[in-house]
Amino acid sequence: MFNFEIVAGGTVRTVLQNRRREVLDLVSRTYRIHEAGQTVNPDSYFLRFPEKPDSRIIALPAFLGPESGVAGIKWIASFPKNTESGAPRASAVLVLNDYATGYPIACLEAAAISSARTAASAAVAATALRPEGHQGKTIAVIGAGVIARNICDYLSAADCLPEAYLVHDLHEPSGQALAEHLRGTQDAPVSFTTDLAEALAADTVVFATTALKPYVTTPFKPGQLVLHISLRDLVPEVVLGAQNILDDIDHCLKADTSPHLAEQATGSRDFVTGTLAGVLNGDVTLDADRPVIFSPFGLGVLDLAVGAFVLEEARRDGTAIEIPDFFGETRRW
């Protein structure tokens, strides 16, 4: 009852690198469990700073349900200016709690968990929303940070294998770094482009930027699949011109995401086609004559599911670090 463990970032990365297919299955199952109403996923809570409007720290509490016995919270900071010194934009921890007692049982380095669950959700969507596969297609990646790298790795693990990759980033060294990573890990040709319009014309377009406001005004064409992972790239008119798949409708339509702005512009949610779990369950049918946009806000239940998986694997590998006497009092009297 009073055991407490730490799982360090190196261990988290090793577990996730070696078990991407298992994480894909886990994320897919968790979406379905959430859709069935078996989880609790409250709103995310944003800590903002008046003198740093681009920075924030976000709390994502969640509960995976009585069967799992796991509750917890991710505390993740996003400070984009970190990249100017070569440091990652995001840092995070995940605390897991025991449902029976409420006691914390573990703390895990969670930037890797967060990027893995985000990337896995993109790959699950890429598979479900383009069931015929990506052969003969071009995948463009707009934004070339850690999330983009992980998305590409998970697309490969999910057998989303395109004919070619195209990379675009305003910071060319980052874009070239992602292109080089893809050349070393993928069989498809890879090109870097400074032309946003060229990237937007690809068969599958992945957004993984740090954009705070929409800048994409070009409508997408029938047959295009858009994985809008960074959530604030598209103006409302672009959203309204497509079929829109979200991870959780109430969760996504807030915080001035592009879908939220579309709701504000129309006063309606009629533009929402359904959820990814609805697609996975066969409850949502898509129209081949219209483009499809997947916009996930990011669910804390995914962090919990992946974090609990990492903890069990670390215990099995003997790499979880137990902290003796972490709790100062273990008896009421």
Q: Are 249 and 263 in contact (CB under 8 A)?
A: no
pLDDT at 247: 97
The token duo for 183 is: 């050349």
Do 31 and 47 lie in one domain? The reply is yes
Cα(246)–Cα(293) distance, rounded to whole angstroms?
8
Residue range 279-327, pLDDT digits in tens? 999 999 999 999 999 999 999 999 999 999 999 999 999 999 999 999 9
pLDDT of amino acid 83: 87
Whichever domain contains 275, its CATH number is 3.40.50.720
| Mean pLDDT taken over the chain | 96
In a shared domain, residues 272 and 304 = no
| pLDDT, tens digit (0-9, with 9 covering 90-100), for 34-74 | 999 999 999 999 999 999 999 999 999 999 999 899 999 99
- Residues 170 and 181: their CA atoms lie apart, in Å, by 18
Where does residue 276 rank: exposed (0-12), middle (13-18), buried (19+ CB within 10 A)?
Answer: buried
> Does 223 lie in the same domain as 142?
yes
Domain assignment present for 126:
no
Res. 1: pLDDT tops 90: no
For the entire predicted model, the pTM comes to 0.95
User: What is the average per-residue pLDDT within 166-183?
Assistant: 97
Output the pLDDT for position 3.
Answer: 93
CA 145/CA 124 separation, integer angstroms: 20
pLDDT at 18 (0 to 100): 87
Whether residues 227 and 258 share a domain: the answer is yes
What per-residue confidence (pLDDT) applies to 270?
97
Average pLDDT value for residue range 134-159:
96
pLDDT of the residue at 86: 87
User: Same domain, yes or no, for 277 and 153?
Assistant: yes
Tally of CA atoms within 13 A in the half-sphere of 7 that contains its CB: 34
- What is the Cα–Cα distance from 317 to 17, expressed in whole angstroms? 14
**Residue 164: which domain range?**
131-295
pLDDT at residue 93, rounded to an integer: 98
pLDDT in tens, 206-260: 999 989 899 999 999 999 999 999 999 999 999 999 999 999 999 999 999 999 9
SS (H, E, C) the chain: CCCCEEECHHHHHHHHHHCHHHHHHHHHHHHHHHHCCCCECCCCEEEEECCEEEEEEEEEEEECCCCCCEEEEEEEEECHHHHHHCCCCEEEEEEEEECCCCCEEEEEECHHHHHHHHHHHHHHHHHHHCCCCCCCCEEEEECCCHHHHHHHHHHHHCCCCCCEEEEECCCHHHHHHHHHHHHHHCCCCEEECCCHHHHHCCCEEEECCCCCCCCECCCCCCCCEEEECCCCCECHHHHHCCEEEECCHHHHCCCCCHHHHHHHHHCCCCCEEEEHHHHHCCCCCCCCCCCEEEECCCCHHHHHHHHHHHHHHHHHHCCCEECCCCCCCCCCC
Q: Are residues 157 and 261 in the same domain?
A: yes
- Indicate the residue type of 30: T
Number of domains in the chain: 2
Query: Would 329 be classed as within a structural domain?
Result: no
For residue 162, the model assigns a pLDDT of 97
- Given a contact cutoff of 8 angstroms between Cβ atoms, the answer to whether 245 and 125 are in contact is yes
Residue located via tokens 């200016």: 81
CATH of the domain at 67: 3.30.1780.10
144 with 217, same domain: the answer is: yes
94: left (phi over 0), alpha (psi -120 to 50) or beta: beta
Place of tokens 């968990």: 113
253 and 163 in a common domain = yes
On whether residue 40 sits in a domain, the answer given is yes
pLDDT category, 278, cuts 50, 70, 90? very high
Given a cut of 80, whether residue 130 has pLDDT beyond it is yes
Does some domain include residue 328?
A: no
Predicted local distance difference test score (pLDDT) of residue 243: 98
Residue 224 sits in the same domain as residue 76: no
Residue 66 resides in a domain: yes
Residues 52, 159, single domain; the answer is no
What does the pLDDT read at residue 193?
A: 98
Query: Per the domain annotation, does 57 fall within a domain?
Result: yes
pLDDT at 257: 96
* Residue 193 and residue 64 share a domain: no
Report which of residues 255 and 202 the model is more confident about: 202
Which are the contacts of 284, defined by CB distance < 8 A and separation ≥ 6?
245, 273, 274, 275, 278
Same-domain pairing of 192 and 281: yes
pLDDT digits (tens, 9 = 90+) for 3-41: 999 999 999 999 999 899 999 999 999 999 999 999 999
DSSP-derived pairing of the beta strands 292-295 and 243-246: parallel
Examine residue 166 and state whether it is found in any structural domain, yes or no. Answer: yes
Residue 330 is assigned to a structural domain of this protein: no
